[in-house]
Amino acid sequence: MRPEPHDTESDARLARHVLREGSEPAFRTLYRRHSPALYQFVLRLLGSVSEAEDVVQDTWIRVVEGLPRFRWDASFRTWLLGIGLNRSREILRKACRSRGEAPLEIEPELPAPPLVERIDLEDAIQALPRGYRAVFLLHDVEGLTHDEIASDLGISAGTSKSQLYFARRVLRSHLKPKGVSHER
């Protein structure tokens, strides 16, 4: 038996089985199919393994509760990541309030930080300001459009494009070898 392709149609078929029959195998298939990407996404946003694990579990609970209302206007994965993003933002806002910091919002343009030898991509992504990081991950890693990002983050598509531009610029400055200029 060939594995079912990973697409919206097969996700919808599995979701119907979960809703109509309470099918545990269908749920497990959805969970195994989408949890690795969800986990990587929230881990990159939060930077904490334990918080990311908690968010994945909370997200799936919210998915099961919200599945009867899901209209399939977007892909299941986009919806799932949106729920994970919102849960992550709740955690970040709570942490910021407890430290007296500004919550995850639009980031101002920041000067590039000093270069560090042999920095890897994950470290560079973690070093991004939260707003840049969220847009970068949603667009360049998860493949969402600027309109989808704008809807998920409550910002304009233009702001999403701007945040992505600055995120990429900061990442390039982190990752370029010493003595090499990317400015044109």
CATH fold for domain 1-104: Rna Polymerase Sigma Factor; Chain: A (1.10.1740)
pLDDT in tens, 71-89: 888 889 989 999 999 899 8
Q: Which two three-digit tokens encode residue 102?
A: 């500004």
Do 127 and 95 meet the contact criterion of CB atoms below 8 Å apart?
Answer: no
Angle of helix 146-153 relative to helix 76-99, nearest 10 degrees, comes to 40
Q: How far apart are CA 65 and CA 172, in angstroms?
A: 41
CATH architecture type of domain 105-184: Orthogonal Bundle (1.10)
Q: Which two three-digit tokens encode residue 130?
A: 């939260």
Q: How far apart are CA 15 and CA 13, in angstroms?
A: 5
Cα-atom radius of gyration of the chain, to the nearest Å? 18
Q: Which two three-digit tokens encode residue 16?
A: 């119907």
Domain definitions of the chain by residue range: 1-104, 105-184
Q: How far apart are CA 183 and CA 173, in angstroms?
A: 10
Instruction: Indicate whether 103 pLDDT > 60.
Output: no
Which amino acid, residue 161? Answer: K
pLDDT in tens, 151-180: 888 889 999 999 999 999 988 887 776 554
Q: What is the pTM of this model?
A: 0.64
